[in-house]
């Protein structure tokens, strides 16, 4: 999780990822950010986020994204 937070903070240093749960709804992340996140997650966790998981609920908060990664790791 720390690793993920660190990456997200580099992407948008001004956002408080601990509390923000409207990253998509408030337009903080755009489609290019999503592409960066997906490629970074692939490197960091060796997890592929395929298109059906790219929905706002999974990207609205750092926690939701982390939960998704954990879920996909378990699915393995």
Q: Which residues bind other proteins (CB under 8 A)?
A: 10-11, 13, 24, 29-32, 34-36, 38-40, 43, 50-52, 54-56, 59
Helix axis angle, 2-11 relative to 31-45, nearest 10°? 150
Shortest Å, Cβ 33 to other proteins = 8
- Cβ neighbours, 10 Å, residue 75: 7
Shortest Å, Cβ 67 to other proteins = 18
Shortest Å, Cβ 66 to other proteins = 18
């Amino acid at each position: 999780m720390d690793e993920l937070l660190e990456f997200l903070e580099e992407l948008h240093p001004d956002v408080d990822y601990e509390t923000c749960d409207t990253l998509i709804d408030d337009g903080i992340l755009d489609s290019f950010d999503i592409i960066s996140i997906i490629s970074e997650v692939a490197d960091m966790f060796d997890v592929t986020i395929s298109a059906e998981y790219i929905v706002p609920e999974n990207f609205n908060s750092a926690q939701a994204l982390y939960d998704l990664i954990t879920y996909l790791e378990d699915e393995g």
